[in-house]
A and B are shown apart, each in its own frame.
Chain A
Amino acid sequence: MRQFFPVEDLARDERFVQTNMAERMQDARQPRFKDAPASGTRSSAKSRAATARLTPDRPDASDAARSLMHGIMTGEIQALEGAGRTAHDFASGDGTNDTIPFELKLDMARQAWDEARHVEISVKLSAWMGTELGQFAENTVLFQAACSNDPILRLAGVNRALEGLAIDVFTQMKEFGDIAGDPYLEFCEDWMLADEVTHVKMGSDWLRKVTEKDPERRAKALEFQQVVDKLFSFGGARGESDESSIGLARRFRELAGFTDDEVDVIAKMDEDALAERKAAVQLAQEAAGAVAAF
C-alpha cells in the first residue's frame, strides 16, 4: 500500500469541493455583530447577534450550526485518514530514524476506529439538521497537518492542535444542543468529545515520551503545533473573545494534558489571529473601495 499520501490525492466524490486556508483568507469580507464598528452600510439587524459565539439565540443559529457540523464531519474524515496514514506510513521501532513505537501504531489504529465512528455519527447528525453531504466547502487544512514526514510533528499538529480544536468545537456544539433542547446533538457531541480528549492525551503522552531524549525534536514539534494552532484558529474564529464563534474549552484541554501555560499561549495566538484577520480585511476592503450602496 502506498505511503505518504498528499492532500491533492484524497478520495472524494463529486459532491465535495475542497478549499484551503489560503483561499479562505483571500475572502475580504468581515462578519459583523451588534457592537461592531459601523461600516457605512445598512444591513439587516436580523443578522446581528450580540456576540459571535455560536449559541441558539443567534439569529442565524441553525444555519451556523449546520455549517459547523458539516465542517466537523469533513474534519472527522480527514482525521480518520490522518490517523490511518500515521499507523501505516512509519515502520515500528524505538521512535528514532523515522520509526514509531508499535504501541503508538496501535493508538493510531484505535483513533482511526474512533474517527470512523465519528464520521458515521456526524453524517447522521448532518442529515438530522437538514444538511446535504458536500453542501459546504471542505477545508483540507486538517489533513495537511497530517502530511509531515516526521511522525512527532504529526502528533503535535494533528493530535494536539487539531484534536485540541475538536475539543473546543465539540464543547461548543454540545452546549448548543443542550440549550436548544436538541437531544441528539447534545448526546452525540458529548460522546465524541470524550474520544477527542483521549486523542489529545495520546498526542501529549507520545510526544513527551518519544522526544524524551531529543529536546531539539520536541521544540520543533511544539513550534509546528503553534503554527497549526494559529491556522486552526481560523483568523480568530476560535478564541476567548466574544468575537469568536467557538470558545476555548480550558477544562477539557486540561484533562487532555495541556498545561495552563500552553492554553494561555493558544488563547493569545487566537487573539492575535483575530486582530490580524480584522486588519487584513480592513485593508482589503479599503483597497477594493467596497462600500455597499445603502
Chain B
Amino acid sequence: MDTRTDRSKVTVAPNEFKLVKYDPDEIADVVADLADRIGLANPIRIVVDETTPMAGMASTIDGTSSDALITIHVESGALEDTKRFTNFNRHHAEVSLGRMLLRAHDRLRPDFADAPDDDSLSLRQEAAWNTSLNGRLERLGVDINRQRWLYNHRNRFGFTDDVDAGFERLWSSDDLPWSAIDPDA
C-alpha cells in the first residue's frame, strides 16, 4: 500500500502572494513531505498571513479522525529567510510547519484530549510542548538547532540544572502523553 501523503490533500492560501516572495506550491511540497515523514494522512490547509513579518502559528482540527481537516494559520515570518527578508526559506518552513504538523498529530491521540487549544496554551505549556516536538522533528531528519530550543526552554523555566534535565527528558522522548508534557499539570 502506498503510504505517501497525497499532495492533493494539501492546500495553501492565498494562492498568490503580494507582499512576500513565496510560492504556494513550494509550501505545499514542504507540508506534504513533512506529513509523509510524520505519518499524517489528513487533509491539510495552510493559511499564510503575509501582512505581518511576525512568526506566530496556530492550528485547528475538525475532529480526531484520519480525514479531519487540519488548518494551520501561519504568519509569514515563520517561513521566511532570515538573511533575505520577504524571501521563502525551505528549512525555516520545515522547522515551523513540522512543529505544527507534529502537534496536530499529537492532538489526534486520545492522550492529548486534555491539551488546550493552541490559542489557549500558556507560554510554559507551549515551550514544553515545543521542546518535545523539536526533539522528535530532529529524529525525523529535520535539521534542528538544539541550542536555540534549549535557550527558549530556559527562558520559560529558568536557567538551572534541573530545568536542563527536564528539557533533556522532553527532547529525547517519543511517546509522551500530554500529562507528561504539561508543566502546569
Is A180 in contact with B19, judged by CB distance below 8 angstroms? no
Q: Which residues of A contact B145 (CB under 8 A)?
A: 130, 132
Q: Contact mask B54-67 → A, CB, 8 Å, 1/0?
A: 11111000000000
Name the residue among A63, A128, A134 with the largest chain B CB count within 10 angstroms.
A63
B8: CB under 8 A from chain A? no
* Residue numbers in A under 8 Å from B49 (CB-CB): 41-43, 292, 294
- How many residues does chain B have at the interface if contact means C-beta atoms less than 8 Å apart? 43
Asked whether A60 lies within 8 Å of B150 as measured between CB atoms, the reply is: no
Give every chain B residue within 8 A of A288 (Cβ-Cβ). Answer: 18-19
* Cβ 8 A contact of A29, one of B47, B52, B152: B52
Asked if B147 is an interface residue, CB under 8 A from chain A, the answer is yes
B51 to A31, Cβ gap below 8 A?
A: no
CB-based contact A29/B83 at 8 Å: no
Interface string of B133-155 (1 = CB under 8 A from A): 00000000000011111111011
The 8 A CB mask of A28-61 against B (1 = contact, 0 = none) is: 1111100000010111111110000000110111
Q: Is A194 interfacial (CB-CB < 8 Å)?
A: no
Q: Total contacts A to B, CB within 8 angstroms?
A: 143
- Determine if A43 and B56 form an interchain contact, defined as CB atoms under 8 angstroms apart: yes
The answer, yes or no, to whether B183 is at the interface (CB within 8 Å) is no
| Across-interface contacts of A292 in B (CB, < 8 A) | 13-14, 47-51
The yes or no answer to B37 lying at the interface (CB within 8 A) is no
Interface check A182, CB cutoff 8 A: yes
Known: A27-B85, A31-B52, A57-B123. Contact between A129 and B151, CB under 8 A?
yes
Instruction: Say whether A31 contacts B53, CB under 8 Å.
Output: yes
Q: Does B164 contact A (CB under 8 A)?
A: no
Q: How far is the CA of A137 from the CA of B152 in the complex (A)?
A: 21
Classify the interface of chain B: helix, strand, loop or mixed: mixed
Identify which of A27, A28, A46, A59 gathers the most chain B CB atoms within 10 Å of its CB: A46
Within 8 Å CB of A11, what residues of B? none
Choice from B52, B74, B121, B150 contacting A30 with Cβ under 8 Å: B52
Complex CA gap A65/B155 in Å reads 11
Residues of B within 8 A of A22 (CB): none
Interface residue B118 (Cβ < 8 Å from any Cβ of A): yes
B112 CB to nearest A CB, Å: 18
Q: Which residues of A contact B75 (CB under 8 A)?
A: 43-44, 47
A294 to B46, CA, bound (A): 10
Complex interface: chain A residues within 8 A of B158 (CB): 181
A23 CA to B86 CA, complexed, in Å: 10
Contact between A62 and B54, CB atoms less than 8 A apart: no
Q: Is the CB of A27 within 8 A of B86?
A: yes
